[in-house]
Amino acid sequence: MDRPPLNALQVFVTAARAKNMTRAAERLHLTVSALSHQVRALEQRLGYSLFTRGPRGLALTPEGTLLLDRVAPHLDAIDTALGTMRARRENVLSLSAMPSFASGWLMPRLPEFVARHPDLELNLDSSIEVIDFADCRYDAALRYGPGQWDGVVSELLFEEWLTPVASPGLLADRKRPTLAELADWPLLCPEDPWPLWFEKFGGTAPKRFVASFSDSETRQRAAVEGIGIALGRMTVVRPLIESGMLIALFPERMRARYAHYLVYPQRSRAHAAFSAFREWVLEEAAVFRATTDAADVRMPVAKAGVEATQPLGSAKRRRAPVAAR
């Protein structure tokens, strides 16, 4: 038996999924008679019926079900691969970033990238979901984590630092707490580093927290609304501090367990749009590190035994050389 043409198999899969000849014909931009002719020709080539036709539309025969199960995944894979190649030819960059990082760090800087590369189209997906690069939907991701993921390249952007932050409203009628008094105030969680914070800077973590939130962006919003004090990531809360929506309670900073990374599969290195983004984001990360390092000189140093402090100051941004990683 001769191998059926791919076009005939695509017609079959479309009709099977639509369960209706008219809808399938519309999706394929064919007439109903042309689609029916192709289905009959495929059935004759294979030697068995693929559909039964009834008042409710098409139903697969057992042979049709078996053919759909075996053929459809491969046709979908071809569509995905060709779609990815088309996107690369059209200078499209597909990127995933965590919502808090996208809004707090990436978005204020993104206009510069767009202006520098007006011919590129950026598709940004703000999501905390784990990215599977095998399906070719994404060229890269900006992630907060340990920096070691199987099967991908990860390049360090910068480390993260934590510090307690509160809204001006929460402090309006009360004296700002000292480090020793912090545990007596309403604290927001979950945040594993709270016990580490008290271990480093003194005091005892409270037995209960005023509220618990599953993600950092919601916890940050709760702090802005005055619900309690959050142990904020400086990358995310720094714009809110500079705008006056939050106040950093202490000059002390604690290094976070994780850091921010650019993550991508090896295949993305050959993608021109990704290469442009990689060069730009590493440059911006270096500027961010240099800016915070410059401001750090003017900040009080935390008590002995603490790894380092990270500044709040909005020092003027300056460019720094970026080494290829």
For the segment 192-228, what is each residue's pLDDT rounded down to a tens digit? Answer: 688 889 888 888 888 788 888 877 778 888 999 999 9
- The secondary structure of the chain in percent helix, strand, coil, rounded to multiples of 5, reads 45, 20, 35
**What is the distance between the alpha carbons of residues 109 and 159, in angstroms, rounded to a whole number?**
18
**What is the distance between the alpha carbons of residues 263 and 270, in angstroms, rounded to a whole number?**
15
CATH, domain range 6-86: 1.10.10.10
Contact 232, 221 (CB under 8 A): no
For the segment 159-194, what is each residue's pLDDT rounded down to a tens digit? Answer: 999 999 999 999 988 888 988 888 889 999 865 688
Contact 10, 29 (CB under 8 A): no
Contact 324, 281 (CB under 8 A): no
Domain positions in the chain: 6-86, 89-159+258-281
How confident is the model at residue 180, as a pLDDT? 87
**What is the distance between the alpha carbons of residues 23 and 17, in angstroms, rounded to a whole number?**
10
Domain 89-159+258-281 - what CATH class? alpha beta
Q: Which of 72-81, 101-110, 133-142 has the highest mean pLDDT?
A: 101-110
Residue corresponding to tokens 């367990």: 257
For the segment 234-243, what is each residue's pLDDT rounded down to a tens digit? Answer: 888 888 898 9
Element (H, E) at 59: strand 57-60
Contact 105, 61 (CB under 8 A): no
How confident is the model at residue 216, as a pLDDT? 77
How confident is the model at residue 84, as a pLDDT? 58
**What is the distance between the alpha carbons of residues 97 and 226, in angstroms, rounded to a whole number?**
27
DSSP assignment letter at 103 = I
